[in-house]
Every structure is written in structure tokens, then in C-alpha cells.
């Protein structure tokens, strides 16, 4: 890659620029991300079996992921009886909703940075192509 030098930054504002500390590991897992997205879309909560279908998870996997989110205070589980059958409702807590929105904001930053870098890279590539002697 002639002409392309590695980026060196001595600007202290750049330190940790791409660390994305707001991508909380607890939320950055496919199953839990799906659960939280489903619950965020349904503020009144989602019945366990419906959540299982929405997220394409098994009973055991959904139970485990809900347990992790509940222990972290992100999700509340409300057990009741409906038409003589047990029913489990899952919903985001206030803390869970705030943390999820914060997580999404950080994820938007990742997407923005990646798109901007891609645009700059593509623009630079197109310019260098036009500057090459033929």
C-alpha cells in the first residue's frame, strides 16, 4: 500500500477514542441483546413463551439469560396464574431500560465511526486512483 502510512496520533483527545467502554459486556451478547430489544419494544412486558418465540431460544437458554439479566437488575420477572395456568411475564426495569438506551447510544457511535472511516477510506482510495499516472 504505497503512500498509505499508519495513523499515529499524539493528540491526547484521541486516547481511547475507539475503546467503546459503554458497550457493557453483559448486554453485548446475542441472546441477551435480543431479549432486551424485545422487552424494550413492549414496555408492558412479554410473556415467557412469546419471548422464547420472538428470540428463537429454548426454554433453558431463555431462563438462564433472564436469570442473568434479573440478577443484574435489568429485568423483572412477575409470576402469576392466568386461567389456572402459571404465567411468567418479563419486563425491563427502569434501570434496565436506561442501561439499554445507553448501550444503544454507544453502539450508534461504533456504527457512525465505522461508516465515517469507511467513507474516508473510500474517498481516499478514489482520489489516489485519479492521481495515478496512466
Running along the chain, 134 residues long, what does each successive block of 10 average in pLDDT?
Answer: 55 63 81 97 97 97 98 97 94 97 90 83 58 56
For the chain, what is the domain count? 1
Q: Is residue 17 a part of any domain in this protein?
A: no
CA separation for the pair 69, 31 (Å, rounded): 11
Q: Which helix (H) or strand (E) holds 89?
A: strand 85-92
Task: Please give the residue range of the domain that contains residue 63.
Answer: 23-129
Q: Is residue 71 a part of any domain in this protein?
A: yes
**What does the block give as the cell for 41?**
419494544
Q: Is residue 53 a part of any domain in this protein?
A: yes
Q: Is residue 9 a part of any domain in this protein?
A: no
Q: Is residue 11 a part of any domain in this protein?
A: no
* Whole-structure pTM value: 0.73
Q: Is residue 61 a part of any domain in this protein?
A: yes
Q: Tell me which residue of 2, 10, 7, 15 sits closest to 120, measured CA to CA.
A: 7
Q: Is residue 69 a part of any domain in this protein?
A: yes
CA separation for the pair 110, 53 (Å, rounded): 29
What pLDDT was estimated at residue 123? 62
Q: What is the CATH number of the domain that holds 59?
A: 1.10.10.10
Q: Is residue 1 a part of any domain in this protein?
A: no
What pLDDT was estimated at residue 15? 59
Amino acid at each position: 500500500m504505497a503512500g498509505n502510512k499508519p495513523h499515529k496520533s499524539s493528540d491526547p483527545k484521541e486516547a481511547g477514542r475507539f475503546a467503546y467502554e459503554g458497550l457493557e459486556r453483559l448486554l453485548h451478547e446475542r441472546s441477551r441483546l435480543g431479549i432486551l430489544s424485545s422487552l424494550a419494544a413492549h414496555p408492558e412486558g412479554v410473556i415467557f413463551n412469546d419471548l422464547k418465540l420472538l428470540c428463537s431460544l429454548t426454554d433453558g437458554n431463555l431462563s438462564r439469560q433472564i436469570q442473568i439479566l434479573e440478577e443484574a437488575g435489568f429485568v423483572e420477572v412477575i409470576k402469576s396464574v392466568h386461567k389456572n395456568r402459571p404465567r411468567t411475564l418479563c419486563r425491563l426495569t427502569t434501570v434496565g431500560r436506561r442501561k439499554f438506551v445507553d448501550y444503544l447510544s454507544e453502539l450508534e457511535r461504533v456504527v457512525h465511526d465505522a461508516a465515517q472511516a469507511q467513507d474516508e477510506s473510500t474517498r481516499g482510495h478514489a482520489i489516489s486512483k485519479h492521481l495515478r499516472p496512466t
